[in-house]
Structure 1
Amino acid sequence: MSNERGLSGGVQVALLFPVAFSVLLLALQWAFVSWADATALAAAQDGARVAAGFEGNADAGDRVASEAADNGSLTAMTVYVQRGAVLTTVTVSGRSVSVVPGWAPLVTKSAEFPTERLTR
């Protein structure tokens, strides 16, 4: 006599495969968001460092930040540079690469550096 308790192996696989696949996709999406987050922060820091330099300007900071963020981790990227008398701020925003359909998380990072200037 066979034991008929529980589900057959095929039914278990059919029920558990979508769950396991969803967990895999979420882990992959988390990795892409983390990559985009690290890229945006590094680009903002690089741009702020250049823009805040003694002979730096907002255009140079924008160019450096855009080049630093151009590694494929961000789409629809924007860079905003504010060079003030005391502080220079660079903000990098963009959307993370998405493997989950219909969901492209927004990533925004800012960096501030003191603006270099001559003082008496």
Structure 2
Amino acid sequence: MAVRNQIRELKEVKIPYVLNNFEDPGSENIEKVGEFSINNPYKVNVVHVNSDQLHVFAEDKKNYFLDRYNIGYWVWELPSFPKEWYDRFELFNEIWVPSKFAMDAISRVSPIPVL
């Protein structure tokens, strides 16, 4: 849902974008949210991949984060954020979250802004 909402918002304010696909091995990946591109032409990435799958995404797309302003969009539902995932913050300049609950849990340990 978050990806669809962001696409709608980007279209509304006429900000160009592309969708780069990542097939999460732990999901069914049955619903397509738009046309995908293999290109990554813009200087800002908004990455809708949760922290538990980021190691797979980052390994698959080693250069994806280079020379870009990187925003992670993370959905989180537990009161604490696992220490073994702290290294995921290194990939991003900031983290966006959908709720105050997620903001509180992640911002407690985040070295970067959580919005």
Q: Into which bin does the TM-score normalised by the smaller protein fall? A: under 0.3
Structure with more strand by fraction: 1
TM-score by length of structure 1 reads 0.22
TM-score by length of 2: 0.22
Larger Cα Rg: Structure 1 or Structure 2? 1
